[in-house]
Amino acid sequence: MENAHTQESAECLAYFSVNEGTGLSPEQFKKNLAKFGYNELPAEEGKTIWELVVEQFEDLLVRILLLAACISFVLAWFEEGEETVTAFVEPFVILLILIANAVVGVWQERNAESAIEALKEYEPEMGKVYRADRKSVQRIKAREIVPGDIVEVSVGDKVPADIRITSIKSTTLRVDQSILTGESVSVIKHTESVPDPRAVNQDKKNMLFSGTNIAAGKAIGVAVATGVSTEIGKIRDQMAATEQEKTPLQQKLDEFGEQLSKVISLICVAVWMINIGHFNDPVHGGSWIRGAVYYFKIAVALAVAAIPEGLPAVITTCLALGTRRMAKKNAIVRSLPSVETLGCTSVICSDKTGTLTTNQMCVTKMFIIDKVEGDSVSLDQYDISGSKYTPEGEVTKRGLPVKCGQLDGLIELATICALCNDSSLDYNESKGIYEKVGEATETALCCLVEKMNVFNTEVRGLSKVERANACCSVIKQLMKKEFTLEFSRDRKSMSVYCSPGKPSKAPMGNKMFVKGAPEGVIDRCAYVRVGTNRVPLTGPVKDKIMAVIKEWGTGRDTLRCLALATRDSPLRKEEMNLEDSTKHKQCVSHKYSYMQTYRIASDWLTALFCNVIYVTSQHSLLVSDLSENQSLVRMPPWSNLWLVAAMSLSMSLHFMIIYVDPLPMIFKLTHLTLEQWLVVLKLSFPVILIDELLKFVARNYLERK
């Protein structure tokens, strides 16, 4: 169904001839399944090993080398005498280099073959639908959902198809659609139509998109698109349809190979034709054919000598080293030449969520009030280790471990984090990782509670599934959540009304727990908690608290901060004034998990001198393109130690071939004297000067144009 977001929910139901309460009949299901197919992304047909091997020989320079090696092999068969064995060395070495080059290329591409298939991870395995053959909701495989199905989703569910919301069964419905749109904050959905037919996905507030997660609430809707027709399916098709373009390196190598082949062909023909008059020389036995073959071999030898047979291997090795370094930074390169393309990049346009970050969060710092004396206030600041959503980490103060259960302030802080929360941790046994169920922010607070373990819950013998919410479950048994005041843009906070569950260490009496933006929560506070007492929140105390929050929120790490608060004796529900609902303040901050990944990306980009649009600075992995026209005075070889090492290795191998027996005999070379080396240097020096002059012209005139 096209533009379902512009239609009223009743119109969408009528389009599929379906009722929200009963769903599709078995006949309608079969008809729609035959029409639209299964709700899944088709697997990409990967290339065979043979196809990948052939691709490695599509480079023009490699083909010239392969041709030269084949001709050398053929001519080697006709060698006579002592040179019969040595004649096979040269073509054998060339073929060995080409085979090694192909092996490295195939291995790298096979490692990255699953790039598009990674999108299938966002396909949910199960879905909840209403069908006419059942009176209640039923769980079915997500692939069996068809357009027209009535689908139910609730907190923690992964949306199984593109769905037009028809009714919301909770006060609010919030969806984490960061994997599709890059929005780091969950989006509040509604059922009203969006009249703009050209609305982007971010503006389609009445739609649920396949692969996104329900952060809070419960809703029912009608599936309007499945499989490749979904928004995530369209992205998959765009990725699969992308045509491969030759990289700058491949273009230059092709140009070089084309020019080299023309020059070599011209030289070979010239050498052979110049010696036509010597074909009948007595040294060839007076045979014109023998002479022609002899000078043809000379021409081929010149061609092979002119071809830089080590160039493909050197390029492949350098690119493979580049991909290995990038893999250590969690960047998978699908094609080796892409490494050099990154080096030529001058501007990178990137979004943040899902690219530089993963929309995962974890608590890294928190503080409570230690003591207040007059206008002076001291804070206890704590650091929390561990990243991602794994409930493993340690709370430390100035580097020393802290037993959180011995501090009343931390016990109350953990209680607020656990109860003022609609999310939870879940262990995915198939993937072997902990995942969020609900909001990323609230899941980070759940993870903090597990790390604090304020009631010393025994967790060592628990399975990973049981460990996910062990400490939160204990707190939720001590305090019962009566009702929730959902987060609103006006109050910028969320509140829960709780009553005691059973006698324990938990605070007695009814409580109102609050969490939200520090500015809004602190403005509504009258006191701060110091131990088990409450102290008036004076101006200097407030200024000290806000100064720390500003430091954390604008410092190098740029943490997102939350304030936690409690009302000890809350009013009854009907008497509440939501603008003044707290009398106590504590503060905890948390940040995006993988903040280190963002910093690595920043440093990585800074090294390449490339401008990055939106959030990064600059970048460098390779400097081949940018150093092409740089003077040796400004960018000497020793500024890059890898280049110095490569040059040293190359020169060492050349000297070994020239001076270490029996290599000179195998490669048909002769020793060079000191005088001959001086002649080489004298001839090279003018070349360097001419090269510097050409670079100067390119920098100051050609590039400016």
pLDDT tens digits, 307-324: 776 676 677 677 777 777
Strand pairing partners for 16?
none
DSSP strand pairing (611-613 vs 138-141): unpaired
Who's near 411: CB < 8 A, 6+ residues apart?
404, 405, 454, 455, 505
Angle formed by the axes of helices 288-306 and 60-77, nearest 10°: 140
Interval 606-628 mean pLDDT:
41
Q: Which helix (H) or strand (E) holds 164?
A: strand 162-168
What is the reported pLDDT for 100? 78
DSSP strand pairing (493-500 vs 511-516): antiparallel
Lowest-confidence range among 141-155, 372-386, 673-687?
673-687
What is the reported pLDDT for 135? 76
DSSP 29: H
Helix (H, G, I), strand (E, B) or coil at 384: strand
Q: What is the pLDDT of residues 527-559, one digit of tens each?
A: 888 888 888 888 888 888 888 888 887 766 678
Percent of residues, the chain, with pLDDT higher than 90: 20
What is the reported pLDDT for 452? 93
Report the alpha-carbon distance of residue 242 to residue 44 in Å, rounded: 13
Residue (of 222, 159, 223, 161) closest to 186 by Cα position: 159
Mean pLDDT of the chain: 78
For the chain, percent helix, then strand, then coil, each to nearest 5? 45, 20, 35
Which phi and psi angles does 382 have, rounded to 5°? -130, 145
685: left (phi over 0), alpha (psi -120 to 50) or beta: alpha
Contact present, 426 and 155 (Cβ < 8 Å)? no
Report the alpha-carbon distance of residue 337 to residue 391 in Å, rounded: 41
Read off the pLDDT band of 250 (50, 70, 90): confident
| Position 704 pLDDT exceeds 70 | no
Which phi and psi angles does 62 have, rounded to 5°? -65, -40
Interval 345-351 mean pLDDT:
71
Q: How far is CA 544 from CA 141, 212, 336, 381, 549, in A?
A: 55, 40, 54, 13, 9
Helix (H, G, I), strand (E, B) or coil at 221: strand
Read off the pLDDT band of 591 (50, 70, 90): very low
| Position 656 pLDDT exceeds 70 | yes
Report the alpha-carbon distance of residue 311 to residue 309 in Å, rounded: 6
Q: Where is pLDDT greater, at 119 or 151?
A: 151
| Position 619 pLDDT exceeds 80 | no
Q: Where is pLDDT greater, at 272 or 149?
A: 149
Contact present, 584 and 537 (Cβ < 8 Å)? no
What is the reported pLDDT for 24? 92
What is the reported pLDDT for 432? 85
Report the alpha-carbon distance of residue 700 to residue 705 in Å, rounded: 9
Residue type for position 360 = Q
157 included as an active-site residue: no
What is the reported pLDDT for 584? 42
Contact present, 451 and 392 (Cβ < 8 Å)? yes
On the 0-12 / 13-18 / 19+ scale of CB atoms within 10 A, 261 is middle
Report the alpha-carbon distance of residue 164 to residue 110 in Å, rounded: 39
| Position 169 pLDDT exceeds 80 | yes
Interval 125-148 mean pLDDT:
88
Residue (of 234, 18, 239, 241) closest to 145 by Cα position: 18
DSSP 24: B
Q: Which helix (H) or strand (E) holds 111?
A: helix 89-111
- The active-site residue, picked from 254, 281, 351, 383, is 351
Read off the pLDDT band of 271 (50, 70, 90): confident
Interval 148-152 mean pLDDT:
94
Residue (of 447, 319, 349, 316) closest to 390 by Cα position: 447
What is the reported pLDDT for 123? 56
Considering only CA atoms, give the Rg of the chain: 35
DSSP strand pairing (207-208 vs 150-154): unpaired
Report the alpha-carbon distance of residue 63 to residue 145 in Å, rounded: 51
Q: Does residue 312 have a cis peptide bond before it, meaning omega lies within 30 degrees of 0?
A: no
Q: What is the pLDDT of residues 33-86, one digit of tens each?
A: 999 999 988 766 667 778 878 877 777 777 877 877 787 787 777 666 556 667
Q: What is the pLDDT of residues 99-128, one digit of tens each?
A: 877 887 777 666 555 544 554 555 567 889
Interval 512-538 mean pLDDT:
87
| Position 604 pLDDT exceeds 80 | no
Read off the pLDDT band of 602 (50, 70, 90): very low
| Position 607 pLDDT exceeds 60 | no
DSSP strand pairing (611-613 vs 347-349): parallel
Report the alpha-carbon distance of residue 68 to residue 365 in Å, rounded: 65
527: left (phi over 0), alpha (psi -120 to 50) or beta: beta
In the chain, the domains with their CATH numbers are 4-43+120-240 (2.70.150.10), 49-112+245-313 (no CATH), 361-593 (3.40.1110.10)
Q: What is the pLDDT of residues 15-32, one digit of tens each?
A: 999 998 889 999 999 999
| Position 253 pLDDT exceeds 80 | no
* Burial letters 308-333, b for 16+ CB under 10 A, else e: ebebbbebbebbbebbeebeeeeeeb
Residue (of 253, 258, 264, 262) closest to 306 by Cα position: 264
Strand pairing partners for 535?
528
Contact present, 628 and 699 (Cβ < 8 Å)? no
Read off the pLDDT band of 624 (50, 70, 90): very low
Contact present, 370 and 530 (Cβ < 8 Å)? yes
Report the alpha-carbon distance of residue 154 to residue 160 in Å, rounded: 12
What is the reported pLDDT for 450? 94
Read off the pLDDT band of 431 (50, 70, 90): confident
Who's near 327: CB < 8 A, 6+ residues apart?
333
Read off the pLDDT band of 625 (50, 70, 90): very low
Report the alpha-carbon distance of residue 486 to residue 494 in Å, rounded: 5
Q: What is the pLDDT of residues 471-499, one digit of tens each?
A: 999 999 988 888 888 776 667 888 888 88
Q: Structure tokens of 423?
A: 């999310």
Residue (of 481, 15, 61) closest to 225 by Cα position: 15
Lowest-confidence range among 304-308, 461-465, 535-539, 559-563?
304-308
Lowest-confidence range among 95-109, 277-291, 299-313?
299-313
- Alpha carbon distance, N-terminus to C-terminus of the chain: 51
On the 0-12 / 13-18 / 19+ scale of CB atoms within 10 A, 701 is exposed
Contact present, 313 and 297 (Cβ < 8 Å)? no
Q: What is the pLDDT of residues 175-197, one digit of tens each?
A: 988 888 877 678 999 999 999 99
Helix (H, G, I), strand (E, B) or coil at 417: helix
What is the reported pLDDT for 83? 61
Q: Which helix (H) or strand (E) holds 126?
A: strand 126-130
Strand pairing partners for 138?
129
Interval 580-594 mean pLDDT:
41
Read off the pLDDT band of 620 (50, 70, 90): very low
| Position 603 pLDDT exceeds 60 | no
Torsion sign across C-alpha atoms 59, 43, 330, 608: positive
Report the alpha-carbon distance of residue 272 to residue 293 in Å, rounded: 9
| Position 617 pLDDT exceeds 50 | no
Q: How far is CA 408 from CA 391, 413, 476, in A?
A: 22, 9, 17
| Position 207 pLDDT exceeds 80 | yes
Report the alpha-carbon distance of residue 341 to residue 243 in Å, rounded: 16
Contact present, 65 and 94 (Cβ < 8 Å)? yes
Q: Where is pLDDT greater, at 617 or 110?
A: 110
Place of tokens 């997660």: 213
Q: Find the DSSP H helices in 275-350.
A: 288-306, 310-328, 337-344
What is the reported pLDDT for 186? 83
Contact present, 381 and 392 (Cβ < 8 Å)? no
What is the reported pLDDT for 82? 59
Who's near 645: CB < 8 A, 6+ residues apart?
none
